[in-house]
Copies of this chain bind each other. A is one copy, B any other.
Amino acid sequence: MRSPTISSVALHAGVSVASVSRVMNGFAARPETESRVRAAIADLGYQPNSAARALKVRESDQICLSFADIGNPAYVSMTRGVGRVLHESKYRLVLASSFSTVGEIIQQLESMGRGYADGLIISPIYSDPKITELISQLKMPVVLIGTLPTGLDVDNVHIDSSLGIKLAATHLKERGRSKIGLLNGPLNTNPGRRRSDGFRKVLKNLRLEIVEEQMIQADDFTSQSAYEAISRYPLISEIDALICGNDLMAAGALRFLSELGIDVPGKIAVVGIDNTELASLVKPTLTSVDLLAESRGELAANLLLDRIANPKRASKKIVVQPKLIVRSST
């Protein structure tokens, strides 16, 4: 047996389908009509079919959130922030994650044309001209979290992660450290490249010497890769501080250092990035640069809702300031 439709309700209530629809959407109706419709709805357990509604009004009531990998705690926080905001709205959250290649992102973006979402929040880990082009051609509101590619005119939530590196490095210098290493993620990712650029720039400004070997890249942003990467770090006995690509990587580094009996922060101070819950759970607790992923998610979601409500406003760019949270690893 099929679910009740608006016609069954109309029949049951002895009114027209239009009246049912109007009652449901809050338009004026005679009290008598309204109560009969409501009674019929309750009797039949009617729920409007979302596909039919979506087809007619051209709104899916869905928002798509797209990022690289839900394994990364920063994205989890972001998802939480977005979820919290959407939860207060009529929108459902569709997750488009787990894709790892540029090709998959492109495929994903192309399929947005099917209209299953009213808006897109995307935080691309890779930059690619094709991705930029596809985003700019999208007919729906888009919020990009991360570095906005040049020429792309969409709402943007951006955190100055090179400022994050600066906070970390300055803090380390104040603590008397002068030989700072960077344990980074892959350079072909946006965060990886920004951290590396920021690092280079900041060290120069601080008049700290810098050689290429100070920077090392792990294969990805996991603690395991970080552990493996640092175990082949050439300058391990020369540095007195280490900035890591994120907290997971920092935790991997801490493990390695502890196994080698290298004192943290005595011999080497360690700074993480993201300020996840992990930072206060490892020993020593980890100084970390908070990139406010959860609030970025909230900001992005609010920006998107605002843009949906007001499609013609000029695009906004929100810059979020990272915060350094000092703990005992420095």
Give me the interface of A with B, judged by CB distance under 8 Å. 3, 45, 47-52, 54-55, 60, 62, 70-71, 76, 79-80, 83-84, 87, 92-99, 110-111, 113-116, 139, 223, 248, 251-252, 254-255, 258, 277-278, 280-283
Closest residue on chain B to residue A56 by CB atoms:
B51
Residues in B with CB closer than 8 Å to A76 are: 70-71, 76
From B111, B251, B283, contact of A47 by CB (8 A): B111
Check A87–B99 contact: CB distance below 8 A: yes
Report the 4 A-B pairs with minimum CB-CB distance, sorted nearest first.
A47-B113, A51-B54, A251-B281, A51-B55
Q: How far is the CA of A215 from the CA of B285 in the complex (A)?
A: 28
Number of identical monomers bound together in the oligomeric complex: 2
Q: How far is the CA of A49 from the CA of B258 in the complex (A)?
A: 56
Q: How far is the CA of A83 from the CA of B70 in the complex (A)?
A: 9
Beyond the given pairs A51-B115, A87-B99, A278-B281, 5 more chain A to chain B contacts, judged by CB atoms under 8 angstroms and listed by A's residue number, are A49-B55, A50-B115, A51-B54, A278-B278, A283-B283
Check A47–B114 contact: CB distance below 8 A: yes
Check B92–A93 contact: CB distance below 8 A: no
Closest residue on chain B to residue A60 by CB atoms:
B51
Residues in B with CB closer than 8 Å to A248 are: 277, 281
Residues in B with CB closer than 8 Å to A70 are: 76, 79-80, 83
Q: How far is the CA of A223 from the CA of B95 in the complex (A)?
A: 27
Check A98–B113 contact: CB distance below 8 A: no
Q: How far is the CA of A83 from the CA of B94 in the complex (A)?
A: 11
Check A50–B277 contact: CB distance below 8 A: no
Closest residue on chain B to residue A281 by CB atoms:
B251
Q: How far is the CA of A84 from the CA of B255 in the complex (A)?
A: 29
Once A70-B80, A83-B97 are accepted as A-B contacts, the answer to whether A281 and B223 lie under 8 Å apart by CB is yes
Closest residue on chain B to residue A258 by CB atoms:
B283
The minimal Cβ–Cβ distance linking A116 to chain B, given in whole angstroms, is 5
Check B116–A51 contact: CB distance below 8 A: yes
From B3, B93, B251, B254, contact of A113 by CB (8 A): B3
The minimal Cβ–Cβ distance linking A95 to chain B, given in whole angstroms, is 5
Check A114–B49 contact: CB distance below 8 A: yes
Residues in B with CB closer than 8 Å to A49 are: 55, 114-115
18 contacts between A and B (CB under 8 A): A3-B115, A49-B114, A51-B60, A62-B94, A62-B116, A71-B80, A79-B95, A83-B95, A87-B99, A92-B94, A93-B95, A223-B280, A248-B281, A251-B281, A255-B280, A258-B283, A282-B282, A282-B283
The minimal Cβ–Cβ distance linking A3 to chain B, given in whole angstroms, is 6
The minimal Cβ–Cβ distance linking A133 to chain B, given in whole angstroms, is 12
Residues in B with CB closer than 8 Å to A255 are: 280-281
Once A70-B83, A251-B281, A255-B281 are accepted as A-B contacts, the answer to whether A50 and B98 lie under 8 Å apart by CB is no
Residues in B with CB closer than 8 Å to A252 are: 281
Q: How far is the CA of A94 from the CA of B81 in the complex (A)?
A: 16
Closest residue on chain B to residue A113 by CB atoms:
B47
Closest residue on chain B to residue A83 by CB atoms:
B98
Closest residue on chain B to residue A71 by CB atoms:
B80
Residues in B with CB closer than 8 Å to A94 are: 62, 92-95
Q: How far is the CA of A139 from the CA of B255 in the complex (A)?
A: 50
